[in-house]
Structure 1
C-alpha cells in the first residue's frame, strides 16, 4: 500500500493531489494548450509540472520540479512537437518529493511508447509492484503511477488498447483519474467509483480531457460532460471526436465530497454541479443547522468565501441582521513553503498570511466561517487574532463535518494523531481553539447540497469507513479486491 504519510509541517490544511490533462488537436501543436491547462489546474499540485507530446513518430517530454511558470520556458514549449499530448501537475501523496516521481511518467516498450498522468492513489500498488518486479520489470520510482504504466505496457503486448486498459482496471484497486498517451492516441480513464474528477471538453479543433472544467474554459472550449466512473474515453487522433467504452459498472459511486468543499476551483463544474453554487448551498445549510445571531459573518479567505456568502444570505432571509463582511485580508505573496523553524515564528505565520480589518471586527460579535479544521492550529490563531483586534465574541462555523480519519485516496491530510477531531468532541475542540461557539456541518447536509446519497460519496475522512478495501481500516460497502497474479478472463469480455 502506498499513501501519504502526513503533511509537511509548513501546511495548515489538506493539500490537493494532482491535476491531469490531455488533448488531441487537428494540425495544431498541443504543447501550448497543455501549458495553459496546467496553469488552470495549478491549485491541484505545486511540486512539479510536466508535458509529454507525440508527433506521430516519437515522444517529446519536459518534466520539472516547481510551479508551471517555473518549469517551462518558451524554448521548452517549442521543443514539444506534436498535435496530441498529456500534462500533469503534482503534489505527492504516494512516492518521493523528487523528479523521479514527477509526471507524466513515460515508458517505451515493444508495442510503442506510453505516458501516464495520474490523480488519485492506489491501495494495492505494492502487491502489483512486487509481482511485476518478479517478472523482470525494473522500477525507477516509488510512486504508484509507474506501477500502472508497467502493468498497462505488459497488457498492451497481448491485447488491443481497450482490452489492455480493461485488464489493468481489473487489477488496480483504489482511486484514479488518468490521462494516458499510447503513441499519439490520448485516452482518459476514471476509476469505477469515480472518486477523482475527470471531464471532456470540445475545442474548435479538437478535444480535451481535464481534471476540472476550468481548464477547458481557459482554452475557450465547451464542457461536454464528465467521464463516467469506470469509463474509458479515447480521443480521435485528428481531433474530430472521441469513442467511449464503459468498461466497469459499480452499484455505487464514491465521489470525493472534499472536491466541492475545498479542493476544486469554485468556477469548475464537477459531476454536473458548479462548485461555487455547491459551496453557497453548504453555507445555507450551515445557517439552517447552527446559525447564530452576530453583528458580522466573515470568511477565512479564500476557501470560506462562498460558504459565508450562502450563510449570510440564508441568515438575512430568516430575518437576521447579521451582515456579510470581509474581515480578514490575505497576503498572496506568502507561499506554501514559507519556512517557520521555531514555534514563535509558526504562531506569527498566521499574521503574515492574514490580517484583520479593525473597523469590521472591533467591538463586534463575529461569526467566522472556514471549510474545515484539521489540526486546529490555524483556527486557534485566527480566533486569538480577532479577539486581539477587539472582537467581543468569535463563533466558528465549519462548512464540512469533523475530519476524524486520514485520506488514503490521494489527499495529503494529517495523520490520526494530528487530527484534532480524531479523539475529541466538538466541545473539546471549541475549548481548544477558544471560540465562543463551534459548529460543523452534518454529513446529511453535505449529501443534500451535492444532490447525492451518502452511499454515493467517499466520506472516509469524516466517518472512518472507506469505499475501498484498505488494510487496517473499515469499509462502508462490499468491496471485491482484484486477485493479483491471476488474469480475470471476464476482463476481456
Structure 2
C-alpha cells in the first residue's frame, strides 16, 4: 500500500520559508513520490513552484530562491483521487475576490463528485479532476461572505471524508484536521516560528520541538510573523476514526502520531502478535524495513516467556529497486520481489523460521518470500502479520488494491496460508491493535480489515451510529 500525501506549513519571523519547507518535504517523502510543491507569500503576492517527481528533482536552488516570503505551505503527493499529472499536483492555488488561496491535502473526500457538481452549477470552473480543488473552491466561496474561521467551519460542514490540510490564505497559514481525525497532523515550534506537518519527523528535520497533535475537528491559525498561533475547535465528535495503518505501516518509525512514537507502537504490536499467535522457532526475522520493529517486539516477548529465539536479519534489501506494489503486471511484481529482497543463507538453512511483516495485500510478496526461504533450506517458514487480514478497499485516501485483488477477501486464514505456502499463518486481531495503540476500538478506522467505514459510501456498510447521507463519488 502507498500513503497518499504529506503536508507542511510554516510561519517564520525573520527568514524565508522556502528552504525549511523543502527540508520538511524531504522528511515526508515516504508519503508521496509522484509530485512535490511549495507555495509562499511575501505579504504582497503568492509564489508557487510545483513539479512532478521526487522533492530533490522538483526543485533546484533557483526555484527555492524565487519562492519569497516567510510564510508558506508544501506538499508531496501519491494520488488516490485525480490524475497523475501537474493539474492535480499540489499545493493547489486559486485567486479570487478575497485574495489568494493555497491548499495542500492529505486524504480523500467521499462526496467530492456531488460537491463538484454543485459548485460547477454555481459557475465555478475546475481545472483538475482531483478532490483538493473541490475543497479549495468551496473554501473560496465561503470566504466571500465570512471571516476566515467561519469560512473554514462552513467548509468543514460541507466536505465529508478524510483530510488533513495545510492552507494559506494570503500570508496566513492554517492547519485543519477532519472531525474524525483520520489523517494525522501535528504542530511544532521552531526558534523563529511555528510549523504544521503530517508527521513530527518533519518538525525534527527543522530542529523544532513537537508541541502536540492537532485534534480532530481543530483549526490552527499561525500568526504571519511567526510569533504564535490560535486554536479553534470547530467540532467535537463523540468518536474519532484515526487510521490504524499510520502506526502499522505508513508513518516513519521516528514520528510521533496521536501521542505515540510509531517505533514503540510497532514493538507493542509485535508483542501482541506473540501473545496471540506466537510459535517457537529457531529464528525470528523481519521483512525489511517495516517489519523490523514488529519482529523485535515479538522476539522480546517470546524470550520473556522463557524461549530462546534468535532475532536475526535474514533478508537483505536492495534499495534501488522500485516499490513492488505499483508494478503494472503480476509477472513484474514477482520478478521485482526477487530483485528487491535476497535471503542470507546462513541465517535460514536448516532452521525453523518465523517471518514477520506488517501486512499482506495481494499476497505476491509473501508468497515469493516464503518460496525464497524454502529454496535456501529453511526447514519451516511460519508467517506472522502485524495487522488483521485486509479484506476491503480503503476510501479514506490509501492507495489499495480492489477487493478482487486482495488475497484475504473471501478467504479464511487457512486458505490464505495454502496460497502463500507458509507452514502456518497468524494475524494480529483488531482488539490487539487497539490495545497496543492505547485507543478505544471505536475511535479507530479499520474499514480495510472490517469492511465498516466511518462515512457512508455507496455499496459499503458503516459502523457509525451517526446517520449520514450516502454519497457516491
Contact kept in structure 1, 2:321 and 2:336, CA below 8 Å: no
**1:7-27 Cα shifts (integer Å, max 9, x gaps):** xxxxxxx11010000000002
**1:196-229 Cα shifts (integer Å, max 9, x gaps):** 0000000000000000000000000000001000
Alignment of 1:238-277 (within 5 A): 238-277=225-264
RMSD: 1.4
In the other structure, the counterpart of 1:416 is 403
In the other structure, the counterpart of 1:298 is 285
Alignment of 1:230-379 (within 5 A): 230-336=217-323, 344-379=331-366
Answering whether residue 2 of structure 2 is matched by residue 18 of structure 1, we say no
Contact kept in structure 2, 1:397 and 1:438, CA below 8 Å: yes
Q: Provide the C-alpha distance between the structure 2 equivalents of 1:482 and 1:164, rounded to a whole number of angstroms.
A: 23
Answering whether residue 208 of structure 2 is matched by residue 221 of structure 1, we say yes
**1:232-263 Cα shifts (integer Å, max 9, x gaps):** 00000110110000001100000000000000
Once the two structures are TM-superposed, the CA of residue 482 in structure 1 deviates from its matched residue by: 7.3
Counterpart among 156, 164, 170 of residue 143 in structure 2: 156
Q: Provide the C-alpha distance between the structure 2 equivalents of 1:91 and 1:409, rounded to a whole number of angstroms.
A: 13
Answering whether residue 439 of structure 2 is matched by residue 452 of structure 1, we say yes
Change (3 A) 1:345 1:207: closer
Taking structure 1 as the reference length, what is the TM-score of the superposition?
0.94
Once the two structures are TM-superposed, the CA of residue 347 in structure 1 deviates from its matched residue by: 2.6
Counterpart among 44, 49, 68 of residue 57 in structure 1: 44
In the other structure, the counterpart of 1:194 is 181
Q: Provide the C-alpha distance between the structure 2 equivalents of 1:241 and 1:442, rounded to a whole number of angstroms.
A: 42
Moved more, 467-476 or 437-446: 467-476
SS of residue paired to 1:101: coil
Once the two structures are TM-superposed, the CA of residue 345 in structure 1 deviates from its matched residue by: 4.5
How many matched pairs?
Answer: 471
In the other structure, the counterpart of 1:489 is none
In the other structure, the counterpart of 1:86 is 73
**1:117-156 Cα shifts (integer Å, max 9, x gaps):** 0000000011110010000000000000000000000100
Change (3 A) 1:308 1:470: same
**1:166-225 Cα shifts (integer Å, max 9, x gaps):** 000010001000000000000000000100000000000000000000000000000000
Q: Provide the C-alpha distance between the structure 2 equivalents of 1:52 and 1:432, rounded to a whole number of angstroms.
A: 48
Contact kept in structure 2, 1:172 and 1:482, CA below 8 Å: no
Q: Provide the C-alpha distance between the structure 1 equivalents of 2:220 and 2:375, rounded to a whole number of angstroms.
A: 55
Structure 2 unaligned spans of 5+: none
In the other structure, the counterpart of 1:462 is 449
Answering whether residue 54 of structure 2 is matched by residue 70 of structure 1, we say no
In the other structure, the counterpart of 1:7 is none
Q: Provide the C-alpha distance between the structure 2 equivalents of 1:343 and 1:132, rounded to a whole number of angstroms.
A: 41
Q: Provide the C-alpha distance between the structure 1 equivalents of 2:331 and 2:369, rounded to a whole number of angstroms.
A: 15
Q: Provide the C-alpha distance between the structure 1 equivalents of 2:231 and 2:406, rounded to a whole number of angstroms.
A: 41
Contact kept in structure 2, 1:173 and 1:482, CA below 8 Å: no
Once the two structures are TM-superposed, the CA of residue 340 in structure 1 deviates from its matched residue by: 6.2
Q: Provide the C-alpha distance between the structure 2 equivalents of 1:481 and 1:135, rounded to a whole number of angstroms.
A: 24
